[in-house]
Amino acid sequence: MLYDGDLSKMKGNYHLKTTNDEDGCNKILKWMRQVKVSKKTSIFCMEYTGRYSYTFAENLAGKGLLFCMVPAIKIKGSFANARGKSDKVDAIRIAQYAYRYRDELKPTSLKDNDVMKLRDLMNDRKMLVKEMASRKNIISEYKNFPEGGRYKRAKEGLELLKKQLKEVEKEILDLIKFNPAIERNYNLLISITGISFVNAVNIIIFTDNFQSFTDSRKFAAYCGVAPFEYTSGTSVNKGVHVSKMANRTLKADLSMAARCAITHDTELRIYYKRKREEGKSFGCVLNAVKFKLIGRMFAVVKRGTPYVNTQKYAA
């Protein structure tokens, strides 16, 4: 969909449906010439939809076209009262969003190919873990009937899934070792108490190995950890809360990291106990610990040296 501020033009030749491969990009370039639009003064805006949008982005970049990928929730939030949905309607809204915020849009850079491979492998791992949990539930439910077919199939399936999980995790670690920049940051991240394999790899993926995010507070906001004020005049006073507009996968993984850190990190354990004694709720304090962990992660990467627990050496 082509949009230059005039909604009445968004008909006929201003709408094109094509594929996301190289042929589709060639078709787009031809279409742009027909409607007399210069690629030097244009930018493509698309919703981020994972591997599908990344394939299209690669082809756009190969043709020298500027593009930006925007989370769907941002575009949806700009049209809160919108009605109806179709491919063409969605294209119109995305085009309008891009035009409205054209002075704020920044072209998206393609992610490191190894980071994208890590993303795919971690998705495979997540799927395997979910399937393993399902098999374990069946085994637990039928533990008193081990001679049954369902119990046996669940046991056999679980063993196969465990084997596949080990293979995927080995592939992930091999890929990390193959890329010096990723390996450096991975080793720095796991030096922090509470941050282990899953969190370290996910942080690398969602920060594009700390290229997409360079500020810890912005990343904390992305994870739904940074608090925001909700007040207006004298009628609205909801205090300070985190936003639900967040990456919930990262937030859940960070919750596990925070629990581990509270148990094994002296400084964070003391902090946790003090805040709880002050009357703060468990969720509020846990969220604060997550924020501290994010700060530590960005600090060690920026500094380039592993985390040192100074509390350990305190007199």
Which residue carries 């054209």 as its tokens?
102
pTM: 0.77
Of 1-10, 69-78, 87-96, the one with minimum mean pLDDT is 1-10
**How many angstroms separate the CA atoms of 4 and 79, rounded?**
18
33 versus 51: the higher-pLDDT residue is 33
Rounded to the nearest 10 degrees, what angle do helices 248-264 and 282-303 cross at? 90
Q: What is the pLDDT of residue 127?
A: 95
Percent of the chain with pLDDT over 90: 42
Distance CA 218, CA 221 (A): 5
Q: Which residue has the higher pLDDT, 79 or 57?
A: 57
Counting other chains too, the contacts that 101-106 makes at CB distance below 8 Å and 24 or more residues apart are: 102/43, 105/43, 105/45, 105/68, 105/70, 106/68
Residue 134 Cα to chain centre, angstroms: 25
Greater pLDDT, 121 or 13: 121
Q: Which residues contact 228 (CB under 8 A, 6 or more apart)?
A: 221, 240, 241, 242, 243
